[in-house]
Amino acid sequence: MILAILNVGVAILTAATPSILGNGCAAADAGVGAPAGQGARQSAERVVEQHLPGVAIAVTVLAVNLFGDGLHDALDPRLRL
């Protein structure tokens, strides 16, 4: 169960990568990396629009990994004294 939770972060990054690189789903479809890919193609004057989707993806993956790590610490019987 814990491994499955930790693999959610990998799945998010795997789903976002093609869209960030420009090979993902169409603009009308909802994709995790579509806003990040669109922000990368914006002008250099819109720095927040370029970096905010990538930061949101990173924070989401970090939150899921920290949740899985906390769950591991709570449920692992070898860590109890």
pLDDT range class, residue 55, cuts 50, 70, 90: confident
Three-state SS annotation for the chain: CHHHHHHHHHHHHHHHHHHHHCCCCCCCCCCCCHHHHHHHCCCCCCHHHHHHHHHHHHHHHHHHHHHHHHHHHHHCHHHCC
The predicted structure's pLDDT at residue 20: 72
| Mean pLDDT, residues 46-69 taken together | 83
The predicted structure's pLDDT at residue 62: 92
The amino acid sitting at 48 is V
Q: What is the pTM of this model?
A: 0.70
**In the chain, % of residues over pLDDT 70:** 67
pLDDT range class, residue 4, cuts 50, 70, 90: confident
Q: How far apart (Å, rounded) are the C-alpha atoms in residues 74 and 81?
A: 12
Q: Would the pLDDT of 65 be above 60?
A: yes
